[in-house]
Amino acid sequence: MKVDYSFITTVTPGEEKELAKLYREAEWWDGQGDSEWIRQLPQRSTLFLVARCEGRIVGMGRVIADGVSDGYLQDVFVTKAFRRQKIGSELVRTLTASAAAMGIDWLLLIAAPGKTQFYEALGYHVMPQYVPMRFGGRP
């Protein structure tokens, strides 16, 4: 199985469906309402990386950043059928290196429960003196 990685800035209707599937599988979106926001993500993100197998998107990740020094690694997802094949690791490594090449050397993330070791193996570390916080919405 060959997986190709590429940065994208626009989304075709087919890609929109594949990305929506990733968000639903990750339980970050319930599939309700308009998916316009999915079409906007690549163009509004600093970096938007997809992993493809036989032309289908099987993984993604993105960086949102100020373009100068600080960024946030977000939405690293791999479809269930392709997990445990190092795709997520490659997405994180590529995004981290690409952000650093842009001068974004302070990259943060919020690890989902049970994923801390995954990110630690890729060079990230827990910042025990800080607490992630969210404004509004559900806890």
**Domain presence at residue 103:** yes
Which of 24, 18, 23 is closest to 53 using CA atoms? Answer: 18
Is-contact 28 76, C-beta < 8 A?
no
What is the average pLDDT across 9-13? Answer: 94
pLDDT tens digit string along 62-105? 999 998 889 999 999 999 999 999 999 999 999 999 999 999 98
Containing structural domain, residue 113: 3-120
- pLDDT for res 1: 82
Does residue 137 surpass a pLDDT of 80?
Answer: no
User: Environment class of residue 76 by beta-carbon count within 10 Å: exposed (0-12), middle (13-18) or buried (19+)?
Assistant: buried
Q: Token pair of 98, please? A: 């690409």
**Domain presence at residue 136:** no
Number of domains in the chain: 1
Stated pTM of the model: 0.92
**Domain presence at residue 72:** yes
**Domain presence at residue 60:** yes
**Domain presence at residue 57:** yes
| CATH code where residue 49 lies | 3.40.630.30
**Domain presence at residue 64:** yes
- pLDDT confidence tier of residue 31, bands split at 50, 70 and 90: low
